[in-house]
Amino acid sequence: MNPDQYCQDKAATSGSSFYSSFRFLPELKRRAITALYAFCREVDDVVDETKEEEVARQTLNWWREEVARLYTGHATHPVALALQDLLNDFNLAQEYLLEIIDGMEMDLDIHHYATFKDLSLYCYRAASVVGLLSAEIFGFNNRDTLKYAHDLGMAFQLTNILRDVREDAERGRVYLPQNELAQFGVTRQNLIQPVTSDGVKKLLQFQADRAREFYLKAFNELPEEDRFSQRTGLIMAEIYLSLLEEIENDGYRVLEHRIKLTPARKLWLAWRASRREKKRYKNFQRNL
């Protein structure tokens, strides 16, 4: 199996909303974003699937060394080899890959966050950095696009936190800020019970509203001239916003059952968003 096929399989088997949007990209960009996503999956799995904390730390340190080898042309892991092959085509900053690893290590060091300001660093490392790397792969002319990429990453991560709140709490991780739990009279113990009390519902609605604010901020920051090149991120946003809407329409009952979109619906949403962006781009070109 060659490195690109390894990354393809890693991305496809994850069932992620992101993978549904990749197929609309040209081949080279599709290879690059798939390799980036596979890298994120690899380092995330280190923390989620390794039972011994010390082993997880050692593995993350190995990945830091592998990133260094990647930028000197001596990568050994299939994902790193795939990324190494793309460095001449895309500006993939080494420090951003290391930030992603640092974000994963935060899950070993920090099990709760006092305020949203504290949580923001985690969201930046776990998602916004991925957004910035993705923007480089998709291409842009206006640097305001990087603000969009940062805030869209925040929106994605906040949506993930909302969807996975019970699963994370069962692992001992509470990403919802502690001061906001107190504000709505919710405890960590409440988050591992399949009960949606009024306090829990109001707390989760507060989180959903914040996520929506980041989506809106991101969309407003995206320059029209870069919108078509960044359409893959917009396709992802279509899928994630639909997930957020499902959570809202279900009464925020994420503690009672996992809310997710079917693969068929993700594909349809991706197709619809892609079609919309093509029409918008044609109109933009006509008005130049």
Are 24 and 55 within 8 A, CB to CB? Answer: no
Residue 62, token pair as written in the block: 């190995």
Domain annotation covers residue 264: yes
Whether residues 124 and 85 share a domain: the answer is no
Whether residues 21 and 132 share a domain: the answer is no
Whether residues 147 and 206 share a domain: the answer is yes
Domain annotation covers residue 100: no
Q: Residue 219: which CATH number?
A: 1.10.600.10
CA distance 3 to 81: 6
Q: What's 174's DSSP letter?
A: B
Which residues of the chain carry a pLDDT beneath 50? none
CA angle 264, 224, 121 (to 5 degrees): 70
CA distance 30 to 137: 9
Whether residues 22 and 149 share a domain: the answer is no
Are 163 and 138 within 8 A, CB to CB? Answer: no
Whether residues 222 and 168 share a domain: the answer is yes
The pLDDT, as a whole number, for residue 14 is 62
Domain annotation covers residue 99: no
Whether residues 267 and 192 share a domain: the answer is yes
The pLDDT, as a whole number, for residue 11 is 81
Domain range for 83 is 1-93
| pLDDT digit string, tens, across residues 101-124 | 999 999 999 999 999 999 999 999
Whether residues 53 and 129 share a domain: the answer is no
Whether residues 126 and 263 share a domain: the answer is yes
Are 255 and 195 within 8 A, CB to CB? Answer: yes
Whether residues 133 and 4 share a domain: the answer is no
Domain annotation covers residue 267: yes
Domain boundary among 63, 93, 123: 93
Residue with tokens 């930028």: 71
Residue 97, token pair as written in the block: 């890959």
CB < 8 Å & 24+ apart, contacts of 273-277:
273/21, 273/231, 273/234, 273/235, 273/237, 273/238, 273/239, 274/24, 274/231, 274/235, 277/227, 277/228, 277/231, 277/234, 277/235
Domain annotation covers residue 208: yes
The pLDDT, as a whole number, for residue 19 is 62
CA dihedral 193, 199, 203, 208 (to 10 degrees): 90
Domain annotation covers residue 190: yes
Query: What phi-psi label fits residue 100: left (phi over 0), alpha (psi between -120 and 50 degrees) or beta?
Result: alpha
Buried b (16+ CB within 10 A) or exposed e, 140-169: beeeebbbbbbbbbbbbbbbbbbbbbbebb
Are 31 and 82 within 8 A, CB to CB? Answer: yes
Domain boundary among 25, 58, 93: 93
CA distance 96 to 101: 9
Domain boundary among 48, 66, 93: 93
Domain annotation covers residue 271: yes
Nearest to 150 by CA among 101, 114, 96, 229: 96
Whether residues 123 and 86 share a domain: the answer is no
CA distance 43 to 99: 11
| pLDDT digit string, tens, across residues 239-283 | 999 999 999 999 999 999 999 999 899 989 999 999 999 999 999
Whether residues 229 and 188 share a domain: the answer is yes
Please list the residues that pair with 112 across neighbouring strands: 174
Domain annotation covers residue 134: yes
The pLDDT, as a whole number, for residue 76 is 95
Q: How many domains does the chain have?
A: 2
CA distance 173 to 183: 19
CA distance 41 to 10: 8
Whether residues 45 and 157 share a domain: the answer is no
